[in-house]
Amino acid sequence: MQRAFELFSDIFADRDNLLTRIDPRIKVIVTLLLLLAVILSTRPALPLAVFILSLAGTRIIQVPIRLVLARLAAPVAIVFVLVVLQALLIGSTPLFTISFLKWKISGFQEGAYRGILIGCRVLGAVGLLLLMSSATQAHRIFHALRWLGMPKGWVEVAMLMYRYIFTLLDQATDVMGAQRLRLGYSTIKRSLSSMGLLAGTVMVLSMDQAVRTYEAMTLRGYTGYMSLGPLPALSGKDRYILVLALVIVLLAYLMCEWGPL
């Protein structure tokens, strides 16, 4: 449970450092703009630079390396699969050929480049979200999103999902512990059966939790909207940081897209 808690929690956002002192609205706006730049990029340079800078940011705020690697494990695996599939399925210029018995497997330059580009986009976006979640408390992100005009229902659902992730993780850990005591993972067949039972149990628990949460909120006067309260106006320093960040992002995008790289 402790490992899962570290993966999903925003505990490092409680620390006092340069990034956590910035207004969450500024960080959300800059992150969204960078995400847009990463998605629209046609070269790997900008997404890769964003990914590297994001990792550097996590080290500046002292997020443990093991936790960063754990959070990046799944995205890196997805990127690897993307690059391999794109290289094997797209293109006409041979990059490599592997012979195995009667079969020949060929990779193509066009597909490899396309896969690398998509992979860099994925890593850049993941790096941004990792840095954002490590430098900003979750409730502040939701508050900033509501200030930016995101629908109330979306924000409320996101807040409740984040709140009950840890409850469901705790319950899933208890169920898995009980299965292990009963040798539920002693063989591959029993492991698959236990994992299916665990997934079904968590689904049922999540539905029960949703009903209990709704009833509890209704008894406490919930009428379809949770008030988050107003945010103070942006200070002159925050406005300066926002303008400077927007200019840097725009210049970086133009240089990476139309520069010599």
Summarize pLDDT for 35-63 with one digit per residue, the tens: 999 999 989 999 999 999 999 988 888 88
Cα gap 76→64, rounded to integer Å: 18
What single DSSP character describes residue 13? G
Cα gap 161→165, rounded to integer Å: 6
Q: Are residues 51 and 120 in the same domain?
A: yes
Summarize pLDDT for 86-118 with one digit per residue, the tens: 988 888 888 878 877 778 888 888 888 999 999
Banded pLDDT at 8 (limits 50, 70, 90):
low
**Is 0.85 topped by the overall pTM?**
no
Domain that holds residue 108: 1-11+23-150+232-261
- Three-point CA angle 22, 28, 32, nearest 5°: 140
Banded pLDDT at 2 (limits 50, 70, 90):
very low
Q: Are residues 83 and 40 in the same domain?
A: yes
Q: Are residues 184 and 112 in the same domain?
A: no
Q: Are residues 5 and 112 in the same domain?
A: yes
Q: Are residues 161 and 111 in the same domain?
A: no
Distances (CA, A) of 218 to 70, 151, 161: 38, 21, 18
pLDDT, residue 12, reads 66
